[in-house]
Amino acid sequence: MFRPIFAVLSVSAVLATACGATDAGDVKPAAYAQFVCTGLVGWRDGVAADSTVLSRSLAEAADVATVRSRYATFFTAAVRRTDEVIGTVKSAGAPEADHGLGYSRDLTAALVNARTGLAGAQKAFAVLPTDDLGAYAEGARTIRDSLGTVFGQVGTTLEQLGGTYTDAGLNRAFGDNPACQRLSAS
């Protein structure tokens, strides 16, 4: 879930803006918001679609080898998609906004943490015992369901970023961007 940055104008914020942005990047806020939100929407939608495909494909799985293969495909895709969105966010640079470098750094760190969580889940999945299909499927489901926490942490971080980085121009850029609005609506 993404919540756009809400500007909190105080005397110090107004003064800081009047003196120029501190710790700013060099990418216009609108371009940054477009690039980042488009990447995040693609990542979110891609992982959700992969999860739907996995769930449907497991309904017809009758042996551990098939279940293992389908979960392996899911985790490989989720980690790959996360690597791609991390690359997208890094490629976006940093917004030309007050503390834009910090915003970019913290967003990237949240995605790296998600990637670490996904890779950890992938490793836990790989060591599940394979001698009982029911037990194996239950263990795999438990691991997959724990991914909600991984993705939830990204959403929480995005909300925190909105409270930490309050540049009015960046706020407008995220609020006006259709891809960012799609993230907010979820």
Q: Where are the domains of the chain?
A: 26-185
Greater confidence (21 vs 132) lies with: 132
Q: Indicate the average pLDDT of the chain.
A: 83
- The Cα–Cα gap between 78 and 80 comes to 5
pLDDT per residue over 64-108, tens digit each? 888 888 888 999 999 999 999 999 999 999 999 999 999 999 999
Per-residue model confidence (pLDDT) at position 58: 85
Query: Which residues, other chains included, contact 15 with Cβ-Cβ below 8 Å and sequence gap of 6+?
Result: none
Q: Say if residue 3's pLDDT is above 50.
A: no
pLDDT per residue over 4-25, tens digit each? 333 332 333 333 444 556 888 9
What Å distances lie between residue 90 and 73, 86, 116, 141, CA to CA? 26, 6, 17, 32
- The Cα–Cα gap between 181 and 179 comes to 5
Greater confidence (148 vs 37) lies with: 37
Q: And the tokens for 34?
A: 């477009």
In CATH, the number for domain 26-185 is 1.20.120
- The Cα–Cα gap between 61 and 168 comes to 52
95 DSSP β-pair partners: 27
Position 75, amino acid:
F
